[in-house]
Amino acid sequence: MENSTRRSFLKQTTFLSAGLLLKSTLSGMNLGRNPTILLVSGWQDVNIGDIAHTPGLLQVLETFMPESNILLWKKSNATPEVRQLLESNFPRIKVLYGTVDQSHHVESPELLEAISKADLMIHGSGPSLVGADHLACWMKLTTKPFGVFGATLQDPGAYHTGILKKAAFIFTRETLSIDHLAKAGIAGSHVQFAPDATFYLQIHNRKKAQDFLKENGLQERRFICAIPRLRYTPYHKYGRSSWTQEKIRQVEETNLKYKELDHAKLREAMIAWVRETGNKVLVCPEMTYEVDIMDELLIHPLPDDVKPFVVKRGYWLPDEAASVYEKAHTVLSFECHSPIIAAANGTPFLYLRQPEDTIKGQMYYDLGFDKSIFEIEQTSGKQLADRLMEIGNDYPRARTELTERMDQVGKIYRDRCNFIQTL
Q: What is the CATH number of the domain that holds 243?
A: 3.40.50.2000
| 10 in a structural domain | no
The model's pLDDT over 258-271, given as tens digits with 9 standing for 90+, comes to 999 999 999 999 99
Are 61 and 186 in a shared domain? yes
Are 178 and 262 in a shared domain? no
| 7 in a structural domain | no
Give the pLDDT confidence score for residue 15 in this predicted structure: 43
Are 163 and 255 in a shared domain? no
CA angle 293, 309, 266 (to 5 degrees): 45
Give the pLDDT confidence score for residue 14 in this predicted structure: 41
How many domains, in total, are found in the chain?
2
Phi/psi at 42 (5° precision) = 80, 70
Are 230 and 145 in a shared domain? no
pLDDT, mean over the chain? 92
| 172 in a structural domain | yes
Report whether pLDDT(7) > 90.
no
Give the pLDDT confidence score for residue 107 in this predicted structure: 85
| 64 in a structural domain | yes
What CA–CA distance (Å, rounded) separates 186 from 295? 46
Q: How many CA atoms lie within 13 A of 15 on its CB side?
A: 25
What CA–CA distance (Å, rounded) separates 342 from 395? 15
Are 233 and 364 in a shared domain? yes
Q: What is the mean pLDDT of residues 122-145?
A: 96
The model's pLDDT over 391-402, given as tens digits with 9 standing for 90+, comes to 999 999 999 999
The model's pLDDT over 171-209, given as tens digits with 9 standing for 90+, comes to 999 999 999 999 999 999 999 999 999 999 999 999 999
Q: Is the dihedral of CA 219, 59, 397, 310 positive or negative?
A: positive
Are 194 and 217 in a shared domain? no
Domain that residue 197 falls in? 20-201
CA angle 135, 336, 170 (to 5 degrees): 30
| pLDDT classification of 240: cutoffs 50, 70, 90 | low
Are 211 and 197 in a shared domain? no
Last residue of a domain, one of 145, 170, 201: 201
Report whether pLDDT(59) > 70.
yes
| 9 in a structural domain | no
Give the pLDDT confidence score for residue 268 in this predicted structure: 98
Are 102 and 211 in a shared domain? no
| 422 in a structural domain | no
Last residue of a domain, one of 201, 229, 255: 201
| pLDDT classification of 318: cutoffs 50, 70, 90 | very high
| 14 in a structural domain | no
Asked if residues 129 and 162 have their Cβ atoms less than 8 Å apart, the reply is no
| pLDDT classification of 77: cutoffs 50, 70, 90 | confident
Are 78 and 101 in a shared domain? yes
The model's pLDDT over 403-423, given as tens digits with 9 standing for 90+, comes to 999 999 999 999 999 999 999
| 230 in a structural domain | yes
What CA–CA distance (Å, rounded) separates 29 from 169? 13
The model's pLDDT over 186-196, given as tens digits with 9 standing for 90+, comes to 999 999 999 99
Are 31 and 179 in a shared domain? yes
Asked if residues 147 and 167 have their Cβ atoms less than 8 Å apart, the reply is yes
Are 212 and 182 in a shared domain? no
Last residue of a domain, one of 201, 235, 253: 201
Give the pLDDT confidence score for residue 30 in this predicted structure: 64
Q: Would the pTM of this model clear 0.95, i.e. be above it?
A: no
Are 228 and 150 in a shared domain? no
